[in-house]
Amino acid sequence: MKTSILQKSDSFYDIFTRKGGMQLQSTHYCPGCGHGILHKLIAQALSDFGIRDRTVLISPVGCSVFAYYYFDVGNIQSAHGRAPAVATGYKRANPDSIMISYQGDGDLAAIGANEILQAANRGEQMTVFFVNNAIYGMTGGQMAPTTLIGQKSTTTPRGRSSQNEGFPLRMSEIIATLEAPVYVERVMLTDAKNIARTRKAVRKALIIQVEKKGFSFVEVLSPCPTGWKMTPVNSKKWITDVLARYFEPGIKKDVSEDRQPLIQMRPQPHFNQYHELLDIKSLSDDLQGIPLPEIRPVSDDIKIAGFGGQGVLSLGYALANIAMGHGYQVSWLPSYGPEMRGGTANCSVKISDQRVASPLIDNPSVLIAMNKPSLKRFEPDVQPGGIILYDCGLINTKPDRTDVRILGLRATAEADKLGATKAANMIMLGAYVRMCGFLSEDYILKALPLIIKNKAFYTLNEKAFLRGMAMANGSI
């Protein structure tokens, strides 16, 4: 007899901080839930194969959303049903990682049904564990795509009917019809014998990925005693007697013997090469030799807001690029509606000598308001001692604040005189640059044509920028 100890796998964290307090050792799952059993089988396989350190497990939306509290591996929590897409991206960028997409029936067969089909059809190198308990567990027992005909749920109180809700989806059979998948099996978490089969399937599915053979899919019929309103022991029997009649366990497809390992043919470019490959130039490449002022301690949170089409986003984009060219850390976060013109738009620009932790701005130190709704909306948020720049030609009310510096510019009207109202944003840029005092005028004049590439606006933008600087002069 072999000596061994069956105990908590080291692919689990020692303590589970999910529930806090005294319950640091147990999961959040209901008594008798199948998730814990499958978790154990996966964790054991990861430890046994020595792949824990390169494994990334994607937890779904559903009861197993908190898998990242339990598995001591890389974890990603993806949007509902999107785990196969996230796994695709991660795996392609890191071909040696082991991707596990752990999904429930709501996640995989309902909202993410197309996602999984496309990933399977592309033969992405990942292992999918599909936990099918024929019900929506987390949300309180609603009908799932896999709910059986006649099965009662909170949304089918008289039982699912095929006329009204259609038939339960057999995902394994659907995926097995595709060309690309290597291994598709349905197993069930019932007695020790079937759990041993599940264990075997879990291990095989992972080995296929370790050997880089392609897409593997294991559907697990799993008890949900709470959702089914049964005892854990009766749930086990219900799977065998009822659920497994419709969702027949067994290997649906296995071509693992015939598949050759897929070896990455093209060498992966190094991160530093992407600029070159994508033809992205940095401003500093083209503007070498222009003397720049020294970096100063700066922490400007700039909110720029107006109508779509006023150049609100371009202004922020130009400003962020200019500051970056000076050596500052920046972020630029646009926010706009679906309309290309006429909707409201705003963007947040952060400029700092320190690294920017978050691009979000709740309380701007500078507000550039290009229309009335924007001024109304963001004026109360400006930090005391901050700056409000607004287009006093378009906005007929003055800001109420007395604890900030306020500068009204007839930017749109001035731009119109220069040639086009569109250049109002460059007037605002000039005014801001004049007021902030840490950006070089020479540099900006040379940088602007490189940032806003439309040749028709080269001279207009330059004139508007200089006009903005002059207009701000009087107010300093």
> Which residues are paired to 352 by β-bridges?
299, 329
CB of 37 to other proteins, least distance (A): 5
Question: In sequence order, what DSSP letters do the residues of 151-203 get, joined into one string?
Answer: --BTTBTT-B-HHHH-PPP-HHHHHHTSSS-SEEEEEE-SSHHHHHHHHHHHH
Question: In one letter, which amino acid is 17?
Answer: T
Q: Token pair for residue 142?
A: 């609603």
CA distances from 269 to 87, 95, 275, 285, 354 (A): 20, 13, 11, 21, 30
CB of 129 to other proteins, least distance (A): 15
> Which residues are paired to 131 by β-bridges?
104, 220
Whose Cβ is closer to other proteins: residue 47's or residue 344's?
47
CB of 68 to other proteins, least distance (A): 14
Whose Cβ is closer to other proteins: residue 1's or residue 265's?
1
Whose Cβ is closer to other proteins: residue 44's or residue 461's?
44
- Phi, psi at residue 352, to the nearest 5°? -150, 155
Distance CA 315, CA 319 (A): 6
Whose Cβ is closer to other proteins: residue 225's or residue 399's?
225
CB of 244 to other proteins, least distance (A): 17
Most distant pair of Cα atoms in the chain: their distance: 94
Give residues in contact with other proteins (CB under 8 A): 1-10, 12, 22-23, 25-27, 29-37, 39-41, 43, 70, 191-192, 195-196, 199, 225, 231-233, 236
CB of 71 to other proteins, least distance (A): 10
Whose Cβ is closer to other proteins: residue 42's or residue 302's?
42
Helices (H), 274-397: 274-277, 283-286, 312-325, 372-378
Whose Cβ is closer to other proteins: residue 18's or residue 405's?
18
Distance CA 405, CA 476 (A): 10
Q: How far does the chain reach from its first CA to its final CA, in angstroms?
A: 88
CB of 146 to other proteins, least distance (A): 20
CB of 8 to other proteins, least distance (A): 4
Burial of 252 per CB tally in 10 Å (0-12, 13-18, 19+): buried
Whose Cβ is closer to other proteins: residue 191's or residue 339's?
191
CB of 189 to other proteins, least distance (A): 8
Distance CA 233, CA 231 (A): 5
CB of 195 to other proteins, least distance (A): 5
Whose Cβ is closer to other proteins: residue 222's or residue 371's?
222
CA distances from 169 to 73, 84, 257, 287, 403 (A): 31, 18, 28, 60, 63
Whose Cβ is closer to other proteins: residue 48's or residue 339's?
48
CB of 230 to other proteins, least distance (A): 11
CA 396 from centre of chain: 41
CB of 35 to other proteins, least distance (A): 7
Whose Cβ is closer to other proteins: residue 35's or residue 303's?
35
Residue with tokens 């599940």: 198
CB of 221 to other proteins, least distance (A): 15
Question: In one letter, which amino acid is 110?
Answer: A
Question: In one letter, which amino acid is 198?
Answer: T
The torsion angle over the Cα atoms of residues 421, 422, 425 and 431, rounded to 10 degrees, is -40
Whose Cβ is closer to other proteins: residue 31's or residue 474's?
31
Distance CA 295, CA 346 (A): 27
Distance CA 300, CA 349 (A): 8
**Gyration radius from the chain CA atoms:** 30
Distance CA 415, CA 429 (A): 12
> Which residues are paired to 347 by β-bridges?
304, 334
Whose Cβ is closer to other proteins: residue 14's or residue 179's?
14
Q: Cβ distance 343 to 361 under 8 Å?
A: no
Q: Cβ distance 46 to 52 under 8 Å?
A: yes
